[in-house]
Amino acid sequence: MKFYIEFNPCRECKDIIREINENIPTDENSKKFLRHITYNHTEVVQAIIEELPKKADKENFPWYG
């Protein structure tokens, strides 16, 4: 699952993103990125949480909304 959320990546974010782009994305580096976001970018986590149920609802109930 991919999320496209607008936020300002910090230097560490950019380092991790570059690492992911330069290598094959693995569980290891995507977990690292997720962990970093969880602890350092709570606004992004909030956006994901707010976005998730809406998407799930639309997929399961296409007539809904």
Residues near Zn ion (CB under 5 A) are 10, 12-13, 40
Q: Closer CB to Zn ion, residue 7 or residue 57?
A: 7
Give the dihedral of Cα atoms 34, 37, 43, 46; nearest 10 deg: 20
Q: Closer CB to Zn ion, residue 30 or residue 56?
A: 30
Q: Closer CB to Zn ion, residue 39 or residue 61?
A: 39
Q: How far is the CB of 40 from Zn ion (least distance, A)?
A: 5
33 contacts: CB under 8 Å, gap ≥ 6:
13, 16, 17, 20
